[in-house]
A = this chain, B = another copy of it.
Amino acid sequence: MSTSKRQQILDAALLLFVEQGLEGAATAKIAKAAGVATGTLFHHFANKQELISALYLEIKRELADSLPPLQPEQEIQALATAIWNKALGWGLAHPEKIRFLLAYYQSPLLSAEARKTVKFETLGVVLELLQMGQQQGLIGDYPDDLMLEICHSLFMTSAAYFIDHPQLAGDERQQRAALTMFWNALATTGNQL
């Protein structure tokens, strides 16, 4: 029961945060939407900030878990493609979660700690992949941090694009375009300026 109520609250919170904003979604509304009493919310989460951070972490963990394990025998490009497709697939299956990440990654209400944890948890695999690629000369010799930020934002932007234009999500050409831009941004085969 307890776990279920906790989860009901997280589910309701996600929807309300996306629809009405972090501050527009009052704890009382969330509790009501979750079908629990106001006080119950504060049994499971010390305060609203903790609810937000818990939700953020849950989502990022879910995204990380949806990615395929890194199989070192595969080619870098194939691995990158697989990760990209899995991630995008997960995003299209959970549009509210993408919207939530997009909208609140920058928010002052998300604790700096949660932001950090999140970045390395999800992007850990990606970083490994990029470093392998650099050793093989396939990925450009760019600073790690910058590459990670750019991976993150290219993914989020593409996911948001397909969520905003659902009719394009099945369009092979558009999907390939997004993946190509992502790969080319990182790969060494591009121009060196």
Q: Which residues of A contact B (CB under 8 A)?
A: 20-24, 77, 81, 99, 102-104, 106-109, 140-143, 145-147, 149-150, 152-154, 156-158, 160-161, 165, 168, 173-174, 176-187, 189-193
Contacts and interface: CB of A to CB of B under 8 A. Distances in A.
B189 A190 contact: yes
Contact of A184 (B158, B160, B191): B191
Given A103-B106, A143-B177, A184-B185, 11 more contacts: A22-B23, A99-B106, A103-B107, A142-B180, A145-B161, A146-B174, A149-B158, A152-B157, A153-B153, A184-B191, A187-B190
Contacts of A140: 177, 180-181, 184
A181 B177 contact: no
Nearest to A179: B193
27 contacts: A20-B108, A23-B23, A77-B191, A81-B193, A103-B107, A140-B177, A140-B181, A142-B180, A142-B181, A143-B168, A143-B173, A143-B174, A146-B174, A147-B181, A150-B154, A152-B157, A153-B154, A154-B185, A180-B191, A182-B185, A184-B185, A184-B190, A185-B185, A187-B190, A187-B191, A189-B189, A189-B191
A181 B107 CA distance: 27
How many copies of this chain are found per oligomer? 4
Contacts of A23: 21-23
A49 to B, nearest CB: 12
B183 A146 contact: no
A190 B102 CA distance: 28
A24 B108 contact: yes
A137 to B, nearest CB: 14
A183 B193 contact: yes
A73 B176 CA distance: 32
A183 B187 CA distance: 12
